[in-house]
Amino acid sequence: TAAVLTWTLFCLHNNPDAADRIRAEVDEVLGDRTVTIADMKNLKFTTRVINEAMRLYPQPPVLIRRALQDDKFGEIIVEKGSDIFISVWNLHRSPKLWDEPDKFKPERFGPLDGPIPNEITTDFSYLPFGGGRRKCIGDQF
């Protein structure tokens, strides 16, 4: 959580227009009161900014899984017990998957009223929490 917040603030520092837009959204949704968990559903641009920060600076940048059985991926044979490293950093910055992959663009995930990006809605091109049964519990925060 600390790393996500740090990178989000870093992105906002380098993108003052996004920071201004978040400030306006927070003022509109909250006014003078303290934020509650129920408010998150109405802080849609703020959520997209956090999503984009996690795309650019995934924590962790690499996922490690162990093969439970022999398998084949294309021409690559994966033996049971082999460790498989998935570079989330490279996945999230692939020009084959993302337009201007190194640029901070919170709107890249579609309309604010659309689904919150995750591994399913992005066809596994966005894995800030991994996926499947070993998915990070932090996704629920």
Report the CATH number at residue 77.
Answer: 1.10.630.10
Separation of alpha carbons 73 and 1, rounded Å: 34
> What is the domain range of residue 35?
2-140
Is 11 flagged in the annotation as binding?
no
The angle subtended at Cα 76 by Cα 75 and Cα 79, nearest 5°, is: 140
| pLDDT of 136 above 70 | no
Residues whose CB is less than 8 angstroms from the CB of residue 122 and which lie 6 or more positions away in sequence, other chains included: 109
| pLDDT of 86 above 90 | yes
Separation of alpha carbons 92 and 34, rounded Å: 34
Number of domains in the chain: 1
Separation of alpha carbons 38 and 22, rounded Å: 17
Going 11 to 102 to 89 to 132, the CA torsion angle's sign is positive
Rounded mean pLDDT, 114-127:
91
| pLDDT of 81 above 70 | yes
107 band by pLDDT with thresholds 50, 70 and 90 = very high
Rounded mean pLDDT, 91-104:
98
